[in-house]
Amino acid sequence: MRFVLLTFFSSICFLTVKAFPQISSNQQKFVISAVKVSRDINLTGTLLDPLWRTAPTVQCPYEIQPGDNIPAAQKTWVKILYNSRYLYLGFICKDTDPSTIRAHVTDRDKIFEDDFVIAIIDPFQDNQRAYE
């Protein structure tokens, strides 16, 4: 993944978040546990709020584009927090060649030519119905 720092929040709160790409039989799923916090996080586009330090940092092992569920060429990590109102996902994305980062101003559904991170939440734990 590319050097992007994205903080994403949702009004849906889950105690445990299962992150799953569509993985082949020789790859293992990974589970990321969310940490409950007592207050809202100051959303600034960075992970400088002290509450982010309470969440474990988990490396995202796969890329789906341009590869197809292969080990990620660029390092990306995620932290997940929640409170009584929101679910917070914080991403740390590194790039070995920042000059190749692509980002354009575009309509919401036209992001797939740029560098991006997708979080898939499967509250039913059936690998069939999920929020993206």
* Bridge partners for 18 per DSSP: 31
Size of the chain, expressed as the number of residues it contains: 132
Q: Where are the domains of the chain?
A: 5-100
Give residue-wise pLDDT tens across range 39-92.
999 999 999 999 999 999 999 888 877 778 888 888 999 999 999 999 999 999
The rounded distance, in Å, linking the Cα atoms of 50 and 94 is: 21
Q: Which amino acid is at 33?
A: S
Pick the closest to residue 62 from 74, 53, 70, 54 (CA basis).
Answer: 70
The rounded distance, in Å, linking the Cα atoms of 126 and 92 is: 28
Question: What does the pLDDT read at residue 42?
Answer: 92
> Is this prediction's pTM over 0.85?
no
The rounded distance, in Å, linking the Cα atoms of 45 and 6 is: 6
Question: What does the pLDDT read at residue 5?
Answer: 31
